[in-house]
Amino acid sequence: MALTELEQQVFDEIGRRGEELVELASALIRFDTEAREPEHPPREEAALQEYLAGRLAALGAEIDLWEPAREDVAGSRLVPDGGLGFAGRPQLAARFRGAGGGRSLLLNGHIDVVSPEPRESWTSDPNEPEVRDGKLYGRGSCDMKGGIAAMTFAAEVIAALGVRLAGDLLVCTVTDEESTGAGGLAAVAHGVRADAGIVTEPSGFDIWTSCRGSLIPTITVPGRPGHAGVGQPDWRQGGAVNAIEKATLIIDSLRRLQEEWSERPDHQHPHLSPGDIVPTVVSGGEWIVSYPASCRIAYHIAYLPAHADEDGWGGAIEQEIVERVQRTAAADPWLAGNPPVIEWATDVPSSEVPEDEPIVQTILKTGVDIGRPRRVSGMDSWHDGATFTRFGGTPCVCFGPRDLHVAHTIDEFVVVDDLVACAQELAVTAVRFCGLAS
């Protein structure tokens, strides 16, 4: 391995203290930080953030632990209508200040996790971590408390060994990634930024330089109620209209649009799938023997970085969806006079960092030098790094342990050896990117 003596020392120290890293990840899993709906009370987010702050402060980090104000994120398309408060859900930025003259590096992760339900299907308690066959099980072990543990431990070991970096090293943990992305947005509004960032999502040790954005529309298709057991005249003579049947026209039209996207050149990307249009929730009807008066279809629409508007949002894709629905409705006599209504929920931004960015090249070189070559790829979903990149001026990539495919699942786990490997590579990358004090 082509490491310097100091880099080798940091690398070996993390390997020697691997059990401590597993203990750290286990401690994070024990905190109940389940993702929320806007009206939910806080869980143990504050306790987790205070725990991390205490560890990092003990090694010399400057701690900024704050509850954002509602206005910090108000008006953003990431935030639901009605706004979002952060009472009991603080954000954390811990800064190991460099000697000066080097580049700053942000290590970021989200502390919230998805629901463990159905709990009875788990082999062990999802909030009580357990190591079995070299894997650490528990809700959030993969997504992404394992990654947070690895990045925190990497920073701790660098500090504990007395390594003085030239640039600042920041450890930032945020809430609300799983529900809205508002935590990362609040951190950007608070001024958390660096020359580059690494989000330790479970990338399987790929370097994710890009991610898709997403839109969440709900389309309400109108009908006209009437008795389902009685013959109905033509709707023009006052007869009933089945909203569910009319909704299938919209569903079929948007399915055809997705098929067009899969072939269109502007929807091709070297590391991401084409944009897609997925119906996720359908609800319609009022009574079992009545023609449904309305049908609502919720969609998840993913779009590529090339389709982001100048503000980073999916405005062009939104307009394309609106126009397709309008054209479909205009071709149907009932819908032409009773057009569907589209309501738009949150929008999360896409992101892309060039492969020649210094942080990308540093991670790639580190992998080669320790005998673990890595590759560049992308994430079809979304991560907080897009917010830091788009709105905070911090080019962010994802790099973390295996494996996104076990995130959000029953018996979620992270491989113990991956935690150690991730912390080692993050530490060496930080030393190289930030530089050493002269």
Instruction: Domain 213-348: give its CATH architecture.
Output: 2-Layer Sandwich (3.30)
Token digits of residue 377: 């790829």
Q: pLDDT tens digit string along 59-78? A: 999 999 999 999 999 989 88
83 with 346: CB under 8 angstroms? Answer: no
Dihedral, 399, 376, 210, 203 alpha carbons, nearest 10: -30
92 with 425: CB under 8 angstroms? Answer: no
Please compute the mean of the pLDDT values over residues 405-426 and round it to a whole number. Answer: 97
Boundaries of every domain in the chain:
5-211+350-434, 213-348
Secondary structure of residue 262 in the 3-state scheme: helix
Q: pLDDT tens digit string along 25-60? A: 999 999 999 999 888 899 999 999 999 999 999 999
CATH code that applies to domain 5-211+350-434: 3.40.630.10
> Among the listed ranges 20-34, 306-320, 332-346, 407-421, which one has the minimum average pLDDT value?
306-320
User: Catalytic one among 45, 112, 352, 412?
Assistant: 112
User: In the annotation, is 418 catalytic?
Assistant: no
User: In the annotation, is 260 catalytic?
Assistant: no
Sign of CA dihedral 321, 324, 328, 329: positive
Residue type, 238: G
- Nearest CA to 154 out of 2, 361, 366, 355 is that of 366
Q: pLDDT tens digit string along 170-215? A: 999 999 999 889 999 999 999 999 999 999 999 999 999 999 999 9
Token digits of residue 162: 């007395």
- pLDDT band for 347, please (50, 70, 90 cuts): confident
User: Catalytic one among 143, 176, 177, 412?
Assistant: 177
- pLDDT band for 340, please (50, 70, 90 cuts): very high
